[in-house]
Structure 1
């Protein structure tokens, strides 16, 4: 406990210094930030200390509030938006913080779906019936009933949130619902598919008493805008410094929070901060893997091939590449193994032209392969006198990869200008089609390929997901790819679906609607003697972004 107290004092000091430089959106008594207010770190700590103790009182090895640890600290410093369904950034870190605060009906662990707000559920054709845990509440103490679930469906139909599993417009999944009683609701979908339970079980529930009078949720920061029903309340958020504080909500029925608080604090060097016990988990550099693996006190979570990079071509602005031979020549021009060796330090693999990475349950190792062949690329591209701008993010490995792409394409006779923006701006430009070539990198490539492949390649569904995985080619169309991408979603027999999906991979590798660069493996490391609850799920490898990582198991 001495280490925990020392860490807590250090974080309080960091938070206090941070808030002296910038105002923090504070939270009222019920953990709901009031617009235009601020809170000092000491206020947050006092509020935490007033939290009700565990039902059985203090036990040896637990905090005063009855949790396993006082504070879980992670590297912050980036603004991923307010943890509201309408204000969080679409990428994983933004959605993950929102999901700590706002709960869905079900979640998933290493093996499958598990209860979250819903204690149980039944499926009968197109009907999905969910029964809530008894005495479920929002953070302000208001009971959460199926009327709130029904309201959320109606509200999301009219105002789709950032992370939108229900679809929009004609593609909205739900046909209607029937409120059976305060705890039971039957949701009827237009068409049941393999992933329907996941889609309708994963939308977050918002409180009707807060949102029923809000006409523009995309700008709302008034009373209750962060009132959720998740295992943690947001008790401090500062976008200017990328800092967040979440405090345990012990009335959550789907499980018990593992920590009194979860903090995301600005650090200049995450590895140094981990060494100095300023944060509790961080990424492990590939070239230091042996050092940390030899330390028996260090726990490691491997995320194999989960980060991926793709090169998008806007065929409306670069119509010459509608010629399949020109797209194949781009593959031939790129030394993709150099990306793995020079940028990833060997921790990864050259990307599959079928998009799904090695190691995935759905991976097809018979897809078309495109070896590095600079002479072949030069003979196909040099005479075309192409000049393109390559859009990239200005963070992470993106610029280094973009420069390698530029080098290889210019060797093949394509003049390239790299334009780097922050990742949020880059994503907006890609979704708007404001690019010629674009390098897009994101995590989650090993998670649920059948779902995201549809949002990338189907002409009916692509570019509608609001996240990096939905970013597909613009100006390219294929009836055959679209049919396979849509049909596999309706196949409920697993083996039949996997075969259809592998056929889709092969077709994508033949048609080359985009260029898959490489997949990166990564590692998270933590101290086992302080907290050993970090985990992946069966469909998501990003440990720090999995809300079960913050729950007692």
Structure 2
């Protein structure tokens, strides 16, 4: 099978993102100066074209600066030091480029001008004159080095796998521009996986033995369209500046800035930031404002509750798990925490609205009396781990009240989300609430790492946080089978079977999915977009490119 992609310049069309921020460049990495030289958005693109064109500066950028809300430290934007959640990965991927990118419909060129595949062989050809941000030529030697280096030192976001699950068998350097990567076993996700790993410069990292602590010369020299020109972890401040040597299209903004703001809505109203999340209860106000564009992310944020069955083995009894679902008033989460902007979660995990959603999964209704009959007199007491910010605390309180009402004592402990994630990955919990975005993305990218005994916990994304101490042969077979099914309709059928089985066995509890909205000043910039596999326009590299 062969696929060849056009230059992104020929297939893109207006996009980008980010935050007002007037700050002193204090260093892109922890407090040090950095010199890297050594979705549907608005429906009124034509209407706003003249306004946007008039914003072009003398260097041809559509806007000088895109400004977004900062204030949270998502880690240093390099492949080994960024936080694994979406905002951390997105910032890193502005600085470091991969071979391919995703647009609204498919995988497209990014560093690779063209690509094709045949069996287990995937061939990529770089654009002419591709360079790293210090001006050093980027060649297939760097791609080969990156593969070898990532096998030994897995980055935070690792599409190539780790250990025995490393997908690359070997590679063949054809010339400075072309490389053929041969995988151990090709499947429906292989192209995206090979297209997703970011390329690091051999001339810098070949001298580094411990990339997880390295902050020396060149540790932020990337291969991407934007250089990191400022980073202050303590304040969550970031600045990215267009790299003039980027060869695949024109950046939309000369600078992207993430700046701390005390009130994001007020900052948006005052023109301090150009895009921000819109509260559901203010939707009517902003929909009626002709200067505001809106990006909807349906059911993209989700919350699940995990049980560590190694510490709480009694809950391997399916009757107890069914009773927990009966105890949880999940509609109250939608109504009171999400203010109606969302849906009760599917027990099959995939949310409503997804192409893969199985409407026939088992539905668990709120029935506290039935749950109380199961738990009455058993004397269970559990600790519930939650994050100490956002909706997590409020949802945790609802879960606590619901479970205590049916006879389960609950002690809620809250930590920052990074600590919470580490504790979950280490199995340091009894019950845990996990909230993360990306539920509206392609289920094939996360279902296997949740429900296959062979592939569990193989990623660092919160989607890979599954049930510790739970095993299912049938679930594993379905989760693994879908990866190797290239017929689209057949793959959906396998997924729906997997969803039904998940809803029947209940290895984890899906609480609710939240729909969210981003609003932006469309007269200033109207290029925000979602991809076929990701709804967060602010975290999409193409949102920052003039398409």
Report the TM-score, using the length of structure 1 for normalisation: 0.91
CA distance in 1 between counterparts of 2:21 and 2:508 reads 44
| Mapped pair 1:28 → 2:35 | yes
1:237-276 matched pairs, under 5 angstroms? 237-276=231-270
Q: Which position in structure 2 is the counterpart of 1:114?
A: 108
Deviation at 1:254, TM superposition (A): 2.1
1:453-468 matched pairs, under 5 angstroms? 453-468=447-462
Contact 2:333-2:395 within 8 A present in 1 as well: yes
Following superposition, which runs of at least 4 residues in structure 1 exceed 4 angstroms of deviation? Answer: none
| Mapped pair 1:127 → 2:137 | no
Q: Which position in structure 1 is the counterpart of 2:349?
A: 355
CA distance in 2 between counterparts of 1:500 and 1:27 reads 49
Contact 2:123-2:181 within 8 A present in 1 as well: yes
CA distance in 1 between counterparts of 2:458 and 2:422 reads 13
Instruction: Flag the 1:23–1:471 CA change in 2: closer, same or farther, 3 A.
Output: closer
Q: Which position in structure 1 is the counterpart of 2:13?
A: none
Contact 1:103-1:205 within 8 A present in 2 as well: yes
Q: Which position in structure 1 is the counterpart of 2:488?
A: 494
Q: Which position in structure 1 is the counterpart of 2:21?
A: 11
Deviation at 1:10, TM superposition (A): 7.1
CA distance in 2 between counterparts of 1:151 and 1:10 reads 37
1:280-295 matched pairs, under 5 angstroms? 280-295=274-289
| Mapped pair 1:513 → 2:523 | no
Deviation at 1:373, TM superposition (A): 0.4
Q: Which position in structure 2 is the counterpart of 1:175?
A: 169
| Mapped pair 1:79 → 2:73 | yes
Q: Which position in structure 1 is the counterpart of 2:528?
A: 534
Q: Which has the higher contact order (CA 8 A, sep 6+)?
A: 2
Instruction: Flag the 1:281–1:213 CA change in 2: closer, same or farther, 3 A.
Output: same
Deviation at 1:463, TM superposition (A): 1.1
Deviation at 1:243, TM superposition (A): 0.4
**Cα shift readout 1:453-500 (whole Å, capped 9, x = no counterpart):** 100111111112011010000000001101110111011111111101
Deviation at 1:25, TM superposition (A): 2.4
Contact 1:116-1:253 within 8 A present in 2 as well: no
SS of 1:390's partner is: strand
CA distance in 2 between counterparts of 1:23 and 1:362 reads 42
Contact 2:98-2:196 within 8 A present in 1 as well: yes
| Mapped pair 1:404 → 2:398 | yes
Runs of 5+ consecutive residues of structure 1 not aligned to the other structure: 1-7, 33-58
Paired residues in the alignment total 515
**Cα shift readout 1:246-296 (whole Å, capped 9, x = no counterpart):** 000122122211001000001111111101111000000000000000001
Instruction: Flag the 1:393–1:60 CA change in 2: closer, same or farther, 3 A.
Output: closer
1:79-228 matched pairs, under 5 angstroms? 79-228=73-222
CA distance in 1 between counterparts of 2:157 and 2:376 reads 43
Contact 1:267-1:273 within 8 A present in 2 as well: yes
**Cα shift readout 1:484-522 (whole Å, capped 9, x = no counterpart):** 101110111111111011000000000000000000000
Contact 2:100-2:111 within 8 A present in 1 as well: yes
CA distance in 2 between counterparts of 1:209 and 1:301 reads 41
Contact 2:26-2:32 within 8 A present in 1 as well: no
CA distance in 2 between counterparts of 1:19 and 1:224 reads 16
Deviation at 1:65, TM superposition (A): 2.1
CA distance in 2 between counterparts of 1:85 and 1:304 reads 29
